[in-house]
Structure 1
Amino acid sequence: MMKHSLFAAPLLLLAACGNGTAGDPGEAPLAGARIGGPFTLTSSDGETVEWSDFDGKYRMVYFGYAYCPDVCPLDVQRMMKAYAAFTEAEPDKAQQLQPIFITIDPERDTPEVVGQFTHAFSDDLLGLTGTPEQVKQAADAFSVYYAKGAVREDGSYLMDHSRAAYLMGRKGEPIALLPVDEDAQSVVTELEKWVR
């Protein structure tokens, strides 16, 4: 069963409170929240990737794991379907947006495994993994909860983790939660609102 981190419910409520007018979305729902921060991880190509590498770009960030049997694939599918639709409608703006998948299961999610998972959805989705310490640093920066479930006789296990997709700004600042638990169009609506 998936658990939401303690901050998720208040942020979801906050995300519904817009005070902007048409054409002016107002203050970002997550403005001022302590979400995001420096990390060093490894891409599916084996390259070292730092959070600062994305400076100047908007970022869609989702934490999950490749062996997730249900929620992660559905969320990532909606996120990348929204990204594809946004790219078609706003190609110039989409070039300024980087979708990122960060594993919370580095024990199994090697660069190769993460690459297979992300490429199943889109070649534009950057998959990241790292050492357990590196993954923890990234997850902590985003207030992401995760824990390893009970190991079965065959050695398999599930990961319990919070469920959220973040839209981050050009300086790495938090903007909004992306409603990947709803549908792709809801995600597109958020991208159209905030990616300028």
Structure 2
Amino acid sequence: MSGLKLFRYVAWAAVAVLACVAGALVYFQTTANENSGALIKPLAAIGGPFELVSGTGETVTDKTFAGKPTVMFFGFTYCPDVCPTTLSELQGWMAELGPDAEKLNYAFVSVDPERDTPDVMRDYVWAFDKRITPLTGSKEQVDAMLKAYRVYAKRVPLDDGDYTMDHSAAVYLMNENNEFVGTIAYGEAEETALAKLKRLIKNTAASS
């Protein structure tokens, strides 16, 4: 087995471990009488303040999204399958929500700021839906957000001298106070994903 293949196996194993930990956390925080669209109690350990740059070059912080829940995904524009698939699914969820889609914020955060400039992010993300805010920034800004949101991201060298990124594949659900309340797993059934989004909207309406 080559060193590169071994590195990739180790990296994916790390992703699996993080996913299991997150899954266990969600399970034990969920109350017994909630259905498949349930969200967990807000967790302060995941999330927090951030400052990044939008696809139009404007500064965006956690306060920019205040007042509405946020659906957030971390990825990169050179991603071969997970990111375009997730963005396409997000586009479909928004269409299914209809007018209620406007009650949520949407953000795609780069884990590869070296290549994902604001212009690159804008062209890539807005090809799916212009309601999704493309976010990038300096390496320091991005690293700080990844740490605060407990997002796994690892640069992996390729045989041709280029690189790709291994990263967390779940969609993060944050409430109107930017508190973590759950995830939508990669490849999760559309019915379950929509139930979670509707619950996120309903919970916000109930608390206002």
Q: Percent identity?
A: 34
- Structure 2 residues without counterparts, runs of 5 or longer: 1-7, 203-208
Q: Following the alignment from structure 2 to structure 1, what is the Cα–Cα distance between the partners of residues 135 and 89? A: 19
Q: CA deviation at 1:84?
A: 2.0
1:10-89 to 2 correspondences below 5 Å: 10-16=21-27, 17-20=30-33, 28-29=39-40, 31-86=42-97, 88=98
Deviations 1:54-111 (Å, cap 9, x if unpaired)? 110100010000000011111221122112211x1xx2x4322011000000000011
Report which of the two structures shows the higher radius of gyration computed on alpha carbons: 2
Aligned residue number for residue 106 of structure 1: 113
Change (3 A) 1:147 1:180: closer
Aligned residue number for residue 132 of structure 1: 139
Q: Following the alignment from structure 1 to structure 2, what is the Cα–Cα distance between the partners of residues 12 and 177? A: 9
Aligned residue number for residue 3 of structure 2: none
Q: Secondary structure at the match of 1:67?
A: coil
Aligned residue number for residue 119 of structure 1: 126
What TM-score do you get using the length of structure 2 for normalisation? 0.81
Q: CA deviation at 1:30?
A: 5.2
What TM-score do you get using the length of structure 1 for normalisation? 0.86
What is the CA RMSD across the aligned residues, in angstroms?
Answer: 2.2
Aligned residue number for residue 9 of structure 1: 20
Q: Following the alignment from structure 2 to structure 1, what is the Cα–Cα distance between the partners of residues 183 and 20? A: 11
Q: Which has the higher helix share?
A: 2
Q: Following the alignment from structure 1 to structure 2, what is the Cα–Cα distance between the partners of residues 99 and 189? A: 17
* More deviation, 69-78/125-134: 69-78
- Structure 1 residues without counterparts, runs of 5 or longer: none
Number of residues of Structure 1 aligned to a counterpart in Structure 2: 188
Q: Following the alignment from structure 1 to structure 2, what is the Cα–Cα distance between the partners of residues 166 and 179? A: 9
* More deviation, 112-121/54-63: 112-121
Change (3 A) 1:133 1:30: farther
Aligned residue number for residue 96 of structure 1: 103
Aligned residue number for residue 192 of structure 2: 186
